[in-house]
Structure 1
Amino acid sequence: MTQTRSVEWLLAAMMFAWGVGLLLPGNTMSLPQYRLLSEWAPEFVWAAWSLAIGGVRFVALYINGSWKRTPLIRSICAIFGIVWWLLLCVLFMTANSGPMPAGLLWFPVFIGFEGYSAFRSARDSYHSGALQRWVRL
């Protein structure tokens, strides 16, 4: 469990930055790519979602190892990250807003690294004994 967590730190920072970006002045949700999100909830809700996932992940990464449940929290945050980036990828692909932005290709990369992070942190959870109550192998 002493391996670097730099990918997880990066993904937590990106999730947190996304939330900060939604809080900046302007109406991001008025763009066609975000139409469906804006129908589900207002912009501040999505900002809070992103900030919460990134913030919880930062805390779990910072205290990782001091409390044996932190790898499990990291894994759950990575799964939420997969869902978030996948949702954004689908929304950007289905929005009829002109040519596909080059940045759209980042989302599958994020999803792949979130999956890798979920796997590694789940493995850490198992080895730390955090999952012994639920998993009997």
Structure 2
Amino acid sequence: MMVFTHIRDNFAAAFFPRLSEWLAAFVVLALGWMLTANPALMVAGKTDYQLMLMIASQPFWSTTLILFGAGRLTILLINGAWRRSPHLRALAAFLSCFFWTQIALSFAPTFGFAFILACGWLGMDMINIMRAMRDARTIDDTYTRRTTGGHA
């Protein structure tokens, strides 16, 4: 019972400060699911998805987004429940920027809602990188002080 209390308390303390990271991870996962649920979305000939289709097929994008989103959610769960993992959080946010960039560039020719939304998610994950790296520095500095006896 104490283990569950520990996990619940640590998770609750880490969830809200990382809410934007959780949302970004869920959106990547949902985008992958959407591509699975709508198999004709990225048909050849549509201008909106040509850049993404030049890189990979729709089933590949779907699988990649689902696996990446699930992996990022796992990193966040571990960070909140067991141990701090700001370096992995920063890496996941950095790698997410690849997806947001591909989506933004794919929709840039139509310059519509999807372009602006993708740019917003890209900007948010850039901020998430900086916040996670700040957390990483704090943890690294604390570790250094412990191992050097307080002398950095």
Give the TM bin, normalised by the shorter chain.
0.7 to 0.9
Asked if the contact 2:100/2:121 (under 8 Å) is kept, the reply is yes
- RMSD value, Cα: 2.4
Match 1:92 to one of 89, 107, 116: 107
1:67, distance to aligned residue in structure 2 (A): 3.1
Q: Partner of 2:62 in structure 1? A: 47
Cα deviations across residues 52-72 of structure 1 (Å, max 9, x unaligned)?
22111111111105234x211
Gaps of 5+ in 2: 1-12, 144-151
Give structure 1 regions of 4+ aligned residues with deviation exceeding 6 angstroms: none
Identify the residue that residue 104 of structure 1 maps to in structure 2.
115
Task: Report the TM-score, using the length of structure 2 for normalisation.
Answer: 0.73
Task: Report the equivalent of 2:20.
Answer: 7
Q: What is the one-letter code of the residue matched to 1:38? A: L
Considering only CA atoms, is the larger Rg found in Structure 1 or Structure 2?
2
The code of the aligned residue for 1:24 comes to A
1:67 — aligned with what? 83
- Name the structure with the higher helix share: 2
- Asked if residue 82 in structure 1 is aligned to residue 93 in structure 2, the reply is no
2:33 aligns to what?
A: 20
Q: What is the identity percentage for the equivalent residue pairs of Structure 1 and Structure 2?
A: 22
Q: How many residues align?
A: 128
Deviation at 1:8? 0.6
* 9-18 vs 105-114, which moves further: 105-114
Give 5+ residue unaligned stretches, structure 1: none
